[in-house]
């Protein structure tokens, strides 16, 4: 019975890590897509603000991509340490 419980815990770790990897990728893709579409929309409406919008865009993309990197780090922690 103890071996079955260990196998279930191991399976739960793999499922949890897989969900963390997958949801992080989906979230980053959606976030970057929405942010990019809003940048293009803003530049199309007011082209003279392009120089002001671009640095804000890159800061936003960096923040959007930082969260999945943290999630991937936690997923590796769950897989190999916990």
**Catalytic (active-site) positions:** 65
- At 9 the three-state DSSP class reads helix
């Amino acid at each position: 019975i103890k071996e079955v419980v260990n196998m279930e815990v191991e399976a739960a770790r793999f499922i949890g890590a897989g969900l963390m990897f997958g949801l992080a990728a989906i979230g980053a893709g959606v976030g970057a897509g929405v942010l990019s579409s809003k940048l293009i929309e803003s530049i199309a409406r007011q082209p003279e603000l392009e120089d002001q919008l671009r640095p804000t865009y890159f800061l936003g993309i960096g923040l959007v991509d930082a969260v999945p990197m943290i999630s991937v780090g936690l997923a590796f922690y769950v897989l190999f340490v916990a």
